[in-house]
Chain A
Amino acid sequence: MRRFKRFQWGLLLVGLVLGVMLSLQFRVTRDIQQNEVIRRTQDLSEQVAQTRRERDALQTRVTGLRSQMEQMSAGSQGTQLKQEMDQAGILAGVTELTGPGVEVTLNDSSVSLKPGENPNLYVLHDEDVLRVLNELKAAGAEAVAMNGERFLATTEIRCTDPTIVLNKNKRLAPPYVVTAIGNPDTMESSLKMKGGVAETLQFFGIQVSVKKMAQVAVPSYAGGVQYDYARAAGL
């Protein structure tokens, strides 16, 4: 025993670790191959990835075509038509925009729970994000996005801890950064006023920070804009 040099102890350790790693890998691989449920899920996962690639490719095409349309309309710069197109485009969410505004960062509470406390209270909820967005709009926000996803008239929020899903299949991870173009002062004070949204969120330990920006970017909606049920009507 005494003849074991330091390096031999090292060898022992390395060997142990190697043995553990090799058999773990073997075990994991064997388990996956034998597990029907995992195989199905992996197949489905691959299908989703494939469909997503297809969607992304189409999205790129649409973005290019929209850009071509924009260039074509540039010829009517200064006309009533161009102004109406720009305005409708902003509301419809199909154009990329910049302008002064605010950046609002939201995150789950980092408060450590006291025994018996309900953890659900300190997690960001749908209504928290809805209130922030609503406050921004009431303060004149012209275009809003969160973590790069544009808000449309049809955009919903689903807080599914620990992520947020919006626009049906865009999944966002914290921290959540809301960018809004509008009057920075009006929007900031609207959020931070006494008895206002920021105060309510902070009561539950939700982390809220509002930053005025001289220039903020709001991307265009990444998706096709199309109605399946609604049709233009003469009212």
Chain B
Amino acid sequence: MNKSVSISILLVAVVLGAMMVFQFRTTSSIDKGVSLSREQELSIERKQLERDILHLQEEVADLTAKLNEAGQGQTGTAGALESQLARLKLYAGLLPVAGPGVEVLLDNLPDRARPGGVSGFDNIRDDDLLKVINELRGVGAEAIAINGQRILSTTEIRLAGNHINVNLTKLSPPYRVSAVGNAGALKSGMEIKDGLVEYMDTLGISVKVQIKDSVQIPAYTGAVHFEYAKLAQRR
């Protein structure tokens, strides 16, 4: 008697539970780790990954060729090392480059002051240049220079009195930021609605973006010296 009672209780409870679920409408998006609005994001991610793959394939081809060259004796090794050095210097910023891109000219608007500042006098701060460079990088800038100073992975941009130091070199306005990359993307990245150009205008900074067929980016010409960084030992 008890057993059949237990079973019936169980069955009733299961049915009850099922009924409860179907009474309530689910309103949240189905959570399987991918939200509904992610399609565009995923598409962008895939495009970037495909670009990564292309770059990696090119590097594989390049390094393989060099290693083959090196395998052909003393002069082969020397040749391979020289061309690898040239390649590393290119991406390090130690060689001049050129290509399509933009020139972004930042200047103080003489009739307008940055909130809290003096009219027309040095509205441009290091923060502003950092943001401009970040935006250009975000839309694919491959090489950047400000007033002829090449931006390296170690380059600082520091406000010092009424000028800005880049690579420990004193720069004064107007600031000409040159960038090589997809010119259209670079220009629109800066000029989108509520983007940097609009924002900087409110700070009393005029930003003019000009597309150029050939932008020349000089090499970094300062001293290169590493005191602390060492190659990690191979495991």
Which residues on the A side are within 8 Å of B26 (C-beta)?
27, 31
Question: Bound state CA distance, A90 and B153, in angstroms?
Answer: 9
Give B90's nearest chain A residue, CB to CB: A232
A210 within 8 A of B: no
Q: Is the CB of B97 within 8 A of A70?
A: no
Interface size class of B (residues with CB under 8 A): 35 or more
Task: List which A111-164 residues lie within 8 A (CB) of chain B.
Answer: 126-127, 130-131, 134, 137-138, 141-144, 151-158
Which residue of B has the minimal Cβ distance to A89? B88
The answer to the question of A68 belonging to the interface, with a C-beta cut-off of 8 Å to chain B, is: yes
Q: Is the CB of B84 within 8 A of A32?
A: no
Residues of B within 8 A of A157 (CB): 134
In the complex, chain B residues whose CB is within 8 Å of the CB of A61: 56, 60
Q: Quick check: A69 and B66 within 8 Å, CB to CB?
A: yes
In the complex the two chains form, is B52's CB within 8 Å of A231's CB? no
Q: A97 interface residue, CB < 8 Å from B?
A: yes
Contact in complex: A153, B34 (CB < 8 Å): no
A8 in contact with B6 given A31-B30, A143-B153, A153-B153 (CB within 8 Å): yes
Residue interface bits A18-54, CB-to-B below 8 A is 1, else 0: 1111111001100110010110111011011001101
List A contacts of B134 (CB < 8 A).
126, 130, 156-157
Q: Is the interface of A mostly helix, strand, loop or mixed?
A: helix
Say if the beta carbon of B64 comes within 8 Å of chain A.
yes
Residue of A13, A88, A183 touching B94 (CB-CB under 8 A): A88
Given contacts A41-B39, A156-B134, contact A76 B81 (CB under 8 A): yes
Chain B, range 76-115, C-beta contacts under 8 Å to A = 77, 80-82, 84-86, 88-101
CB pair B130 A84 closer than 8 Å: no
Nearest residue, chain A, Cβ from B88 = A88
Interchain CA distance A225-B92 in the complex, whole Å: 10
* Least distance between A133 CB and chain B CB atoms (Å): 9
* CB 8 Å contact bits of B143-178 with A (1 = contact, 0 = none): 110000001111111100000000000000000000
The CA-CA distance from A85 to B30 in the complex, in Å, is 52
Interface string of B220-235 (1 = CB under 8 A from A): 0000111111111110
Nearest CB in chain A: distance from B129 CB, A: 10
- Asked if B13 and A19 make an inter-chain contact with CB atoms under 8 angstroms apart, the answer reads yes
Contact of B32 among A32, A86, A144, A225 (CB under 8 A): A32
The one of B17, B20, B32, B53 that contacts A51, using a Cβ cutoff of 8 Å: B53
Question: Are A233 and B97 neighbours in the complex by a CB distance under 8 Å?
Answer: yes
Are B224 and A20 within 8 A (Cβ)? no
Query: Is the C-beta of A211 less than 8 angstroms from some C-beta in chain B?
Result: no
- Which residues of B114-128 are within 8 A (CB) of A? 126-127
Contact at A134–B88, with CB atoms within 8 Å? no
The verdict on A224 contacting chain B, using a C-beta distance below 8 Å, is yes
C-alpha gap A218/B153 in the complex (Å): 13
Residue among B10, B17, B100, B134 with most chain A CB within 10 A: B17
User: A20 contacts which chain B residues (CB < 8 A)?
Assistant: 17-18, 20-21
A138 in contact with B156 given A88-B89, A126-B134 (CB within 8 Å)? yes
Q: Which residues of B contact A193 (CB under 8 A)?
A: none
Residues of chain A within 8 A (CB-CB) of B234 are: 67
Q: Measured between alpha carbons, how far is A81 from B38 in the docked complex, in Å?
A: 48
- Is the CB of A173 closer than 8 A to any CB of chain B? no
CB interface residues, B 186-213, toward A, < 8 Å: none
* CB proximity to B under 8 Å, residues A56-76: 58-59, 61-62, 65-70, 72-73, 75-76
Question: For A99, what are the chain B residues with a Cβ–Cβ distance below 8 Å?
Answer: 228-230
Q: How far is the CB of A123 from chain B (nearest CB, A)?
A: 17
Distance (whole angstroms) from the CB of B190 to the closest CB of chain A? 13
Residues from chain B with a CB closer than 8 A to the CB of A68 are 63, 67
List 29 interface pairs A-B (beta carbons < 8 Å), by A numbering: A15-B17, A16-B20, A18-B13, A20-B20, A27-B22, A37-B36, A41-B39, A67-B234, A81-B85, A89-B92, A92-B91, A94-B91, A98-B229, A98-B233, A126-B134, A130-B134, A131-B127, A131-B130, A134-B158, A141-B154, A143-B153, A143-B154, A155-B137, A157-B134, A169-B48, A224-B55, A227-B90, A227-B142, A235-B216
Interface residues of B (CB under 8 A from A): 2, 5-6, 9-22, 26, 30, 32, 34, 36, 38-39, 42-43, 45-46, 48-60, 63-64, 66-67, 70, 77, 80-82, 84-86, 88-101, 126-127, 130-131, 134-135, 137-138, 140-144, 151-158, 180-182, 216-219, 224-234
